[in-house]
Structures are given as structure tokens and as C-alpha cells.
Structure 1
């Protein structure tokens, strides 16, 4: 069993001719064409070819940590606000109830 990686245009290497898997310099179990539209190689996983360009996937992998960092900062700001408001609620609570009336014992 073997697969054929079609020719492609690589950003760093220019035009790369198609080749069959397993390649002579790779493992004999690497019978599948893997990688991206602009970076292809032989591997042993049939589900490792992605019909996107490598640069697109790279931007997705950078976007996730940036988005998570922004979410973490927003969550931290929210938690700080909750703590400050809770402190202000406790600190400004009167120590005893004073309704402004004096208590008197009848008689």
C-alpha cells in the first residue's frame, strides 16, 4: 500500500515535485501523504493531511493563546471587582442598628 503526494508550491522551497509514500529516506510504515497543501510528507497516520495552507494553521495556533490570554485578563478584572465590592459592602456596613429613635422603658 502506498499513497502519492501530489506536487505543490512550498513557500520556502518553491515548486516541489510529487512523490510516493513511503519515501526512500522515511520509515517503511509511513505510507500516507500527510501535512498541508504547501508542506507535504509521508507518515503512518491516515488522518494527518489537512487541506489548508500551513500559514493558515499557524495563525490559528497563535490566535488560541492570544484569545485565552484576553479571556484570562477579563476574568481577573472581574474577580478583582467582585472582591473590592465585597470588601466595600462589609467595610461600610454599620456596626449596630440605629433607627434614630431612643428607647425608653415604659413606666
Structure 2
């Protein structure tokens, strides 16, 4: 992650020419090339990948937590239902 970003193909399949950091008219402290194969940008942290504000990442995390919570509830309902059905099956068998 140096100050030179090589050219790349964006997510929209467009070729983006390479550029040097900092960019003209950009933040003078943004001297590192950051990002991924399909999106590169200049930043002031050599370990930064995301050009987004942190609030975007919080919403992403909240969405993941909601999804995981729903999956956990569905799994719990399945386990409870299977347990009740097994109990009913075993208790309804005639005992000899």
C-alpha cells in the first residue's frame, strides 16, 4: 500500500487508470493507496480498506446481527419442534 495506485477494473467493469496519492485537490495527508482490486482510493491510514464513513459499517454490522438473530430464533424453533415431536412419538408407543 504505497502512494501509487495501479490501474484496475471497477465493479461496473470499467477500466480505471492508475493514479498517485495524494490526488491533486485531495487531502494532502492521504498518501497511501487503499482499497480492493475493484475499488482503490487514497487514504491517510496504510491499513484502511474502506473509503466509507464508519456509520456505514455500523449499519452493516447491525444488519448482520439482525440476520443472525433471526437465524438463531428459527434454529431454536426447529430444535424445540423436533424435541416435542420426538417426545410425542416415544410417549405414544404402546408399552408391553
TM, length-normalised to structure 1: 0.50
Q: Which residue of 1 aligns with 2:15?
A: 15
The residue aligned with 2:45 is 45
In 2, Cα distance between equivalents of 1:5 and 1:32: 8
Match of 2:70 in 1: 69
Root mean square deviation, CA, Å = 3.3
Query: Does structure 2 retain, via aligned residues, the 8 Å contact 1:4–1:19?
Result: yes
Alignment TM-score, normalising by the size of structure 2: 0.54
Q: Compute the displacement of 1:12 (Å).
A: 2.5
* Deviation of the 1:44 alpha carbon: 0.5
Q: Determine the C-alpha separation between the residues in 1 that align with 2:75 and 2:12.
A: 41
Aligned residues: 68
How big is the shift at 1:74?
4.1
- CA 69–18 in structure 1, closer or farther in 2 if over 3 Å, else same: same
2: distance between equivalents of 1:68 and 1:37?
32
For the 8 Å contact 1:33–1:49, the answer to whether it is kept is: no
Paired position in structure 1 for 2:90? none
Structure 1 residues 67 and 30 mapped into 2: Cα distance closer, same or farther (>3 Å)?
same
**Separation in structure 2 between the aligned mates of residue 29 and residue 13 of structure 1, nearest angstrom:** 29
Whose relative contact order is higher, 1 or 2, with alpha carbons under 8 Å and at least 6 apart?
2
Structure with the larger helix share: 2
Corresponding residue for residue 32 of structure 2: 32
